[in-house]
Amino acid sequence: MSTPTHRAPRWFVAGDINGFFGLVIDNLSILGFIAMALIGIFGFPADVVFGRMFPGTALGVLLGNLAYTWMGRRLAARTGRDDVTAMPLGLDAPTSIGMALLVLGPAFLAFKADGLDERAAAIATWQLGMASLVVMGVLKTVLSFAGDWVTRVLPRAALLGSIGGAALALLGFLPLIETLRNPVVGLVTLGLLLYLLVAKGRLPLRIPGVLFAFLVGVTLYYGLGLAGLGVPGFALPDALPLAVSLPWPSLGFIDGLPYTVPYLPLLLPFGLLMIVGGINVSESARAAGDDYRTRDVLLVESLSTLVAGVCGGVAQTTPYIGQPAYKHMGARNGYTLLTGLFVGIGGALGIVAGLVQWLPLAVLAPIIVYVGLDITAQAFHETPRKHVAAVALAFLPSLAYLLVIKVGNPAWIAPDRFAELYAEIGSHGLPDLAAIVTLGNGFIITAMLWATVVVFLIDGRLRAAVGVLLVAAALTLFGVIHSVDPRGGVYLPWALEGLRQAIAFQFAGAYVALAAVLGLLSLQGQVVPAPDERP
């Protein structure tokens, strides 16, 4: 008898074109946000952003996507399946925006306040960004080896619920605001994406749906803008000339390492969140049918971040939570290969910088909204019916973090006024702003812990729930979750003073008190778990 052989997986399928445009636009959107924040808000020199920061950042995207392409082809060859979708890799939206707004921008202003001229301050800030990526890359590499253990311990509702909340709040709502800043352009683009990708609508032309929506949006933006027909804030960019800037390894990050010390309370949680997010993404892909080893997924993102930092990058890479969304687009393995080559080579040649300057956010943002919606839906669909309450609860810390991002904008509330609101004790307890900030800080880990507790309660595992609550109390004391530092930093609990110490101990005490109550209830004996009614 002949032994059946598996056919080698194809390099490209038609759906890879859709996936390519979706993943490229995701990455361009985040680069656009970084450039807008640094140049528009902090007055950072544009040539340093585009010529020094972007090439190394793009290199991390190239290396990570090449590795994920190889992993996808290996999984397809091993299983004999032709529907395996590679894990998408790109720049992480929350921490990339956080790096720009909380680390790089303020550091640039601080360097100038210390007497450096604009150019010298920009270079010092760039070296700080490189060093920050190296620190986070080393941390993620060390923590990567715990990924498989976490996926065995935590229930699916905790893994998918926490990432679903982040998808709805950060990948759904925030880009939706950018979409609606230009309502005609943004809403038409978003509506077309929903018609083509969610409703599976047809087009009269044989053209990828994402590309079609993208072209319509760009045409509307520039067509209406040039005609003076109501495109808010329309202006042609002052484009920089294309310039080759190869991301060679550099020891410049060593000069930036001393500057990272004040920012470690921010950088370490950023790296930790990416490990947790990578674990969740692996579970998301597994739920969609592609069983990648969690450790391998985490190591790729960690090493690509590390290499990007050494070569001048300032934004960390991460596997995107949209792997099932790209699978639904029909993408397989070719889309990550195309994306990596386009972003990596385009970053070195200045093409990416040129596109970022010319592509309107109202067109870039809707694709991120779609990915957020798809992952939110998956969190409910792939979780046992009896655990959906845990998924819903896991969404709430993300909403608090969303409010923190918006309320913490200095253009909305002056820093002095923010501090006053944070410290004003109301008649009903802690200040509203303090409660919101404390809930939002460490939101992904908080969501995972909360959902895990609810799943254990539903399954009748009260003592396991007690253990999780005690872990939450310990993490609260050190600011890993519920940090009382408005910026989300970690700290030693005995170093806190005044209201912040009171808030930290009250949150930690609340977890301990609930653990004690549930521990007493567990003495009643075995609790019969609720049945799973999902058909």
pLDDT tens, residue by residue, 66-92 = 999 999 999 998 888 888 999 999 988
DSSP per position, 120-165? HHHHHHHHHHHHHHHHHHHHHHHHGGGHHHHHHHS-HHHHHHHHHH
Q: How do residues 117-146 score in pLDDT, each as one tens digit?
A: 899 999 999 999 999 999 999 988 888 887
Q: Which residue has the higher pLDDT, 419 or 317?
A: 317
Instruction: Copy the structure tokens of residue 500.
Output: 């912040």
Closest CA to 508 of 520, 496, 522: 496
Assess whether pLDDT exceeds 50 at residue 213: yes
Tell me whether residue 314 is exposed, middle or buried, using C-beta atoms within 10 angstroms of its C-beta: 0 to 12, 13 to 18, 19 or more: buried
Can you tell me the mean pLDDT for 26-38? 83
Can you tell me the mean pLDDT for 284-308? 89
CA 160, CA 281: separation in Å to the nearest integer? 8
Q: Scanning the structure block, which residue is given the tokens 């760039």?
A: 126
Query: Distances from the Cα of 122 to the Cαs of 101, 134, 533, in angstroms?
Result: 15, 19, 58
Which residues have a Cβ under 8 Å from the Cβ of 34 and sit 6 or more positions away? 49, 53, 96, 97, 99, 100, 314, 315
Q: Where are the domains of the chain?
A: 15-234+247-381, 385-519
CA 28, CA 34: separation in Å to the nearest integer? 10
CA 104, CA 421: separation in Å to the nearest integer? 26
Q: Which residue has the higher pLDDT, 150 or 358?
A: 358
Antiparallel, parallel or unpaired: β 89-91 and 317-319: antiparallel
- Give the rounded distance of the alpha carbon of 339 from its chain centre: 18
Indicate if the alpha-carbon torsion angle 305, 350, 26, 366 is positive or negative: positive
Assess whether pLDDT exceeds 90 at residue 169: no
Q: Which residue has the higher pLDDT, 368 or 130?
A: 130
What integer pLDDT is reported at residue 535 of this predicted model? 43
Q: Which residue has the higher pLDDT, 508 or 527?
A: 508
pTM: 0.74
Closest CA to 111 of 56, 42, 47, 31: 42
